[in-house]
Amino acid sequence: MERPGAGGINSSEYENVSREKETSEEFEANAMASLIDMPFATIDIKDDCGITDVPHINLERSKENERISKDQIKKRKKKQKDYQPNYFLSIPITNKEIIRGIKILQNAIIQQDKQLAKAMTSDGSFHITLLVMQLLNEDEVNIGIGALLELKPFIEEILQGKQLILPFQGIDTFRNQVGFVKLAEGDHVNSLLEIAEAAKRTFQEKGILAGENRSFKPHLTFMKLSRAPQLRKKGVKKIDPEVYEKFISHRFGEEMVHRIDLCSMLKKKQSNGYYHCESSIVIGDKNGGEPDDAELVRLSKRLVENAVLKAVQQYLEETQNKSKPGDGSSVQTQEAGRNGTERDNNRK
């Protein structure tokens, strides 16, 4: 028997330790039972109480979900970063009075500074941008055309049979970089904002990247310094308000909205100076059904052409795959060729 204090314990002390251990285990078991009966027994008690025999969060799965979430955020940020609009919805300005007034304004500015001539918006391309978007291929362009056609009934519901008339008065700029004719205040502004919001919603529901972060402000651009990058090298970094001060409150006229176009920013402009137009809808015209029907026919033709092109490509791919060595059909073709040759030899 070892002496007390020599690192061992006697029999009576061993029994006391055993009883204390049993009491402790019994207490823990009772505590466990009472916890499991409580309403929060399904919570991750392990973290708070050190108990492992209850349902708990799978840490590995939590980390995996966190990683997936971070990847999704990165992809979304990359998608937004890569977002470069190349198409837009345009309300063309066709009122000759407005166009004539803008030309007088531009000429007056050029007389004061001839180098600003290259910064002017060209003839025939005056418009209001309703929505910008990114369409990367013909399929997406077709989807955009379909979205534009679907937009018309929403516009009709907003206007309720009324004509949308846009009066233009006065001049303003964006950070003294872009000069534009202002849209006068009135109920027409609210209608235009509703149409812009309906367009954004309609295109986005089709999966199209559309819209901008900044709020929509309808304007009629007549001058943009970015059109002439060489001006910055010459020290022209801002539009001097003095060059348009005589037109600061000028009334340019009213435009009755009759059409909305889906236009390309990059494709070659038309001979009249207006942008390349993929499709259009007519607004507020009793005979507007015919152009829309024509657009439907045009869209159908595009869809058929794309379908035929895809079928031809698929056929060519399948043909190429069959001709590759090791393909069963290719072996059968080669065997059939040999059999034919043997028959020909037998006939000889």
Burial of 312 (0-12, 13-18, 19+ CB in 10 A): exposed
* Beta-carbon contacts of residue 32 (< 8 Å; ≥ 6 apart): 51, 53
Q: Look-up: residue for tokens 């466990």?
A: 32
The stretches in the chain having pLDDT less than 50 are: 1-8, 14, 17, 27, 29-55, 286-292, 294-295, 328-333, 336, 341, 343-348
Contact 129, 246 (CB under 8 A): no
Measure the CA–CA gap between 45 and 52, rounded to whole angstroms. 8
SS3 (DSSP) at 128: strand
SS3 (DSSP) at 68: helix
Per-residue pLDDT at 309: 63
Per-residue pLDDT at 304: 60
Contact 139, 302 (CB under 8 A): no
Per-residue pLDDT at 173: 95
Measure the CA–CA gap between 87 and 210, rounded to whole angstroms. 9
Measure the CA–CA gap between 257 and 185, rounded to whole angstroms. 16
Burial of 126 (0-12, 13-18, 19+ CB in 10 A): buried
Residue 275 DSSP code: P
* Beta-carbon contacts of residue 323 (< 8 Å; ≥ 6 apart): 330
* Beta-carbon contacts of residue 127 (< 8 Å; ≥ 6 apart): 90, 91, 92, 93, 220, 274, 275
The amino acid occupying position 149 is L
Give the start-end residues of each E strand in 178-276: 178-183, 209-210, 220-224, 251-256, 259-264
Measure the CA–CA gap between 293 and 138, rounded to whole angstroms. 21
Contact 182, 169 (CB under 8 A): yes
Q: What is the DSSP string of 3-22?
A: PTTSS---HHHHHHHHHHHH
Instruction: Give the pairing of strands 259-264 and 251-256.
Output: unpaired
Measure the CA–CA gap between 207 and 202, rounded to whole angstroms. 9
Contact 257, 98 (CB under 8 A): no
Per-residue pLDDT at 284: 76
Measure the CA–CA gap between 263 and 280, rounded to whole angstroms. 9
SS3 (DSSP) at 88: strand
Per-residue pLDDT at 325: 57
Taking the CA atoms of residue 91, residue 92, residue 94 and residue 95 in that order, the dihedral angle to the nearest 10 degrees is 40
Contact 239, 176 (CB under 8 A): yes
Q: Look-up: residue for tokens 């490509």?
A: 313
Strand order in the sheet with 165-174: 220-224, 178-183, 165-174, 251-256
Per-residue pLDDT at 301: 56
Measure the CA–CA gap between 246 and 107, rounded to whole angstroms. 13
